[in-house]
Amino acid sequence: MGQIEDLRLFVQIVESGSITSAAQKMHIAKSAVSRRLALLEQRYATRLIHRKPGHWEITSTGNELYQRAVEVVNDVDEVEHDFTESAQSLKGTLIVSVPREFGQSFLNPALMAFKTRHPEIQLMVDFDDRKIDLARDNYDFAIRITSDLEPNLVGDRLGSIRHQVFASASYLTRRGTPVQLTDLKHHDLLDHSATRRSSWSFKNSKGKRQTVEFQPSLNSNSGTFLLEAAKKGMGISRLPDFICQSSLETGELTPILTDLTSPEFGIYLVHSENRRLNRRMRLFADEMKTACASIDNQQSWSDK
């Protein structure tokens, strides 16, 4: 047996919790597993597992070897899987968590296109704003919209999101167009929140932070709902560009206070630091990068 197979056997022993269970799962004799473990300990000149009748305990050296061996075995398995799979359809499960509004308002076409191109992949998409535990809940990926990532996550930045302030032409004709931030206090403001009092922060052309506090005329946790309310002339709203951009381009809504900018948030495709990317995960990451690049392109267009 080669060294890789010996490491694979050791990983199986540790994860099974006993030599007997490992032998059963690998369909080989218990004596063969015991002999190969003994040879492995002889090679490294150290005890890897303390074992006697009724007692089984991995040593500190054994635990260190296990951590290293898992990485090696996973790498070999992924190489084998990727290259034997390259000539046939991709198969397997891909589980992804996506923020509800971003997924349903913007990412739907890209997700459906990915599924169409790779029909043998079982794509499971969870539209949820909660921050799931990627390792514990066994997700392959999550998309996060944030200014800071948690330290235990590995992520690729897919793009960025800005917020824009806008209203319908009918509302501005009826109530007038704000020309400075303080003017917003005299308008009906539609806020993406669930609080009685709220605030919007901006930076002016000199980079100075400015904030307006207000009592919303209408609150909702749905950006799509607030967008429709603004289009019906019910007030001024501030929403992410992936929600409002198309309505701004068609003229259904008019941008206001364009000399002010909102904080920018990154769009990240993240996975657990312990999750190694297989081929279907890499394909998914590439397609999501392409899809989200259009947001930055929209921003470049609107800045001109």
Task: Tell me which of 3.40.190.10, 3.80.30.20, 3.30.930.10, 3.10.20.600 is the CATH number of domain 163-255.
Answer: 3.40.190.10
| pLDDT tens sequence for the chain (304 residues) | 578 888 888 888 888 888 888 888 888 888 888 888 888 889 889 998 988 777 778 999 988 998 888 878 877 777 766 666 554 557 788 999 999 989 988 899 999 999 999 998 999 999 988 888 887 777 889 999 887 777 777 888 888 888 999 999 999 999 999 999 999 999 999 999 888 899 999 988 888 999 999 999 999 989 999 999 999 999 999 999 889 988 999 999 999 999 999 888 889 999 887 777 788 888 999 999 988 886 655 544 344 4
Q: Can you give the pTM of this predicted structure?
A: 0.65
Quote the radius of gyration of the chain (alpha carbons, Å).
Answer: 27
pLDDT score, position 235: 96
Q: What pLDDT is attached to residue 298? A: 52
Provide the sign of the torsion angle of the four alpha carbons 255, 257, 258, 263, taken in this order: negative
CA–CA gap between residue 101 and residue 181 (Å, rounded): 27
CA gap 39, 254 in Å, rounded: 75
Tokens of 76: 């070999």
Decide if domain 3-85 falls under CATH 3.40.462.40: no
Query: What's the pLDDT score for residue 176?
Result: 95
Per-domain residue ranges for the chain? 3-85, 92-161+265-303, 163-255
- Strands 163-167 and 236-240: what pairing? antiparallel
- Rounded to a whole number of angstroms, the distance between the first and last alpha carbons of the chain is 65
Query: What distance in Å separates the CA atoms of residue 94 and residue 100, rounded to the nearest whole number?
Result: 18
CA distance 260 to 240: 15
Homologous superfamily of 92-161+265-303: Periplasmic binding protein-like II (3.40.190.10)
**199 has which bridge partners?**
213
Residue 236 confidence (pLDDT)? 97
Buried b (16+ CB within 10 A) or exposed e, 199-228: ebebeeeeeeeeebebebeebbeebeebbe
Query: By the 8 A CB rule, do 48 and 62 touch?
Result: yes
Please tell me if the domain spanning 92-161+265-303 has the same topology as the one spanning 163-255: yes
β-pair partners for 94: 123
HEC string of 204-224 equals CCCCCEEEEEECCCEECCCHH
- State the pLDDT at residue 202: 92
